[in-house]
Chains A and B, each alone.
Chain A
Amino acid sequence: MSKKSSGAENSILYRLKHMTDTNKLLTITIVIFFLMYIGAIVFQGEGFLKPQTFLSMLNANAALIITSCGMSLVMITGGIDISVGGVVALVSMCSAVYLDYHNGSILGAVLISLGIGLAFGIVQGYLVAYLEIQPFIVSLAGMFFARGMTTIVNTNPFNVQNEAFVALKDTRVIVPGLGSVNKLGRYVDAYVEIGVIVALLVVLLMFVILRWTKLGRSFYAVGGNSQSALMLGINVKRTKFLSHLICSLLAGIGGFVYFMHVGSGSASHAMGMEMNAIASSIIGGTMLTGGVGNIIGTLFGVLSLSTIQNIVSSAGLDQAWWTGITIAAMLCLFLVIQSIVMARKKKSVQA
């Protein structure tokens, strides 16, 4: 490759041309994220230069990162799961009720969260993989079921008073060396919440699984072409089942992380989170058609999304509708880009 190309620029162009779809979309995402962040620093002023602004973004979106990882996995396998927002709401409500009304322990709440995630995963995975029902219908029903159940469990939103939980919620992990001096001239440490550490661990784990394990590669194979995956001896149904199982399990974990961040239970929690998760995955370069995607891209997708939200709110357009419209517009843009990439690829294959 280096012999063929004469200059450095040529070789970069060559590489760009011959990248796999996964890497191409990942590059687009990362470039867009950095452009956006630099743009924010230039146009919105100093606020974005502080490390804490970035870390707060992570704090607020830890749950979204976790659920988006699950969403990416399902989308790589060729399915979709729009029940994650509902599961998050259900988990936070159940944990809140358990902690406050039944004087439960933190461990119990975590187990409840995981249990709810597992239950959703098993049912939805079975319906999608073994009964071959469209994943969209199944998870749409799952979403409405979860939202309805949240109201049945408890109607009114409330804040959790449980001492052990409040202590856990307020735990701050200080990031050394990133503090800044505030207006009063005092040095303030930069911090992240526990949820962020969980989220980063999940990202790392999922990245390793998808990149280097047999199971991870089989997700790509099934999503790319389930027929040929079957010929290769992959258990397609089991792979699909596992993808939905892991996604819902991650939604359960994400639910608890979300609960740790907000510290309350409410039926209107995580409204539209499924949309944000799908948008992050798509912005992160995961193809809706399956077989293409990257967890690192998803992480950057979430960051891009929250950067946009930050820009919108700091530009003074803080009416609630602008956020919805900007995210939808971004999703639309990336969907069209993907569609064009796919169409081009098809043409080149035919040629």
Chain B
Amino acid sequence: MENTAVKKSKGSDFLGKLLRQQLFIPVAALLILAIFNLIADPSFFKITLGYSSAGQPVLSGYLITILDYGSELAILAIGMTLVTAASGGQDISVGATIAIAGSVILRVLCGTDSRPETLQTSFLVAFLVACVVSMLFGAFNGILVAYFKIQPMVATLILYTAGRSIAAWINNNELPIISDPTFAYFGGFIPGIPIPTPFFIAMACVIVIALVLKFTNLGLYTQAVGINEKSSRLNGINPKFIKFLSFVILGLCVAVVGLIKVSRLSSINYSVIAKDIEMDAILAVALGGNALSGGKFNMAASILGAYVIQFLTTTLYKFDVQSDALPAYKAVVVILLVVLSAPSVRQKLSGLGKKLRVKEVA
């Protein structure tokens, strides 16, 4: 009798440990979504090897779509996690800054001619210019947040409204089209490789950030600033600079996503490109179990969260939900997540869990 009780409490201990793991939330969400899809329609998981119009092998299927578009989110989630951890707020201007970065790339490639026969420079130069520009915009946000002490979301609200206007202004409201087929590689497929390129780009970003977190103090310092700004300053960290840096890094991530986004279309649509992506990026961070009020973070969980969000989006699309209506469903998910992670709700839940355990033992 006693033995079974001990065993049971051990079992619930294990469960408790599992629940406390940060990766538990995104993995659980992923499992729920996968099981739901498996029951509703198993063809969701079908992957077929087809041939593109150019005769190159490409994989297609819902899972590949998730891998493709989730990679954009994963890149954004890297920067957003750092910003969230350091400043305790989120950057809601990422969608607009993506539009700016994309616009800059097209502008540099096309010059003033919107239907160029030959490109002005190489892709690398255009991309580097876009990186610099979007890091500058990140720095603008960072200065407002770190040095003028404006709440991150209000500071980034400025670019959230002005960003798309600036993007349109950069190209004089024209929509340049790039006819060079190699430009489409970044957002599509490289000939001979059936896996979408954005996935490789995302993996490269993940490896870079993993190395940075491993070999520099960035992660530690960021968490220290997020947990307690004053004490981190007393310990010799410059909290202003760390906050500023996190926004600049996010700017870099934004430039990469901007490249992928314009490459998909070989053109740009200022009002639609990366619409509502800020919500997805914030959701990815929240779903990764990171506190939206800053402090500790888990990068792997955020990245996994990004793919889970894309899984959710694709599932909703499959059930014929209109793209404009998607935010309503995602908003419900956000609210559920933040309510569940609210301290007062957590206390009540753990109290409930304890009561159950006591009953079990009895």
Contact = CB atoms under 8 A, between A and B. Distances in A.
Contacts of A82: 153, 157
B345 interface: yes
A148 B339 contact: no
Given A321-B166, A321-B169, A80 B338 contact: no
B121 interface: no
A324 B342 contact: no
B158 interface: yes
Given A136-B89, A151-B324, A152-B328, A144 B150 contact: no
B154 interface: yes
Interface string B159-183: 1111011101100010000000000
Which of under 10, 10 to 19, 20 to 34, or 35 or more describes the interface residues of A? 35 or more
B166 to A, nearest CB: 7
Interface string A283-311: 00000100000000000000000000000
A339 interface: yes
Interface stretch (A159-167, A171-179, A330-338): A330-338
Interface stretch (B232-240, B306-314, B329-337): B329-337
B55 interface: no
Given A319-B173, A324-B165, A148 B345 contact: no
Contacts of A325: 162, 165-166, 169
Given A134-B292, A320-B165, A324-B162, A144 B276 contact: yes
Nearest to B333: A141
A288 B155 CA distance: 11
* Dominant secondary structure at the B interface: helix
A155 B324 contact: yes
Given A148-B327, A148-B331, A152-B328, A272 B151 contact: no
A131 B173 contact: no
A288 B151 contact: yes
Nearest to B338: A133
A299 to B, nearest CB: 21
Given A335-B155, A336-B148, A137 B334 contact: yes
A145 B92 CA distance: 16
Which of under 10, 10 to 19, 20 to 34, or 35 or more describes the interface residues of B? 35 or more
B302 to A, nearest CB: 16
Contact of B331 (A132, A145, A328, A336): A145
Contacts of B162: 324-325, 327-329
A164 to B, nearest CB: 30
Nearest to A275: B161
B325 A272 contact: no
Contacts of A335: 144, 148, 150, 154-155, 158
A321 B173 contact: yes
B149 interface: yes
Nearest to B334: A141
Contacts of A278: 154, 157
Given A152-B328, A267-B324, A327 B161 contact: yes
Interface string A140-152: 1111110111011
Contact of A331 (B90, B158, B324, B326): B158
Interface string A335-348: 11001001100000
Given A324-B165, A328-B161, A80 B327 contact: no
A82 B159 CA distance: 15
**Closest 4 CB pairs between A and B?**
A148-B328, A321-B165, A328-B162, A144-B327
11 contacts: A80-B153, A80-B154, A133-B338, A137-B292, A144-B279, A145-B328, A145-B335, A148-B327, A149-B328, A151-B325, A288-B154
Interface of B: 89-90, 92, 144, 148-151, 153-155, 157-162, 164-166, 168-169, 173, 276, 279, 282, 286, 292-293, 322, 324-332, 334-335, 338-339, 342-345
Interface of A: 80, 82, 127, 130-134, 136-138, 140-145, 147-149, 151-152, 155, 267, 272, 275, 278, 288, 319-325, 327-329, 331-332, 335-336, 339, 342-343
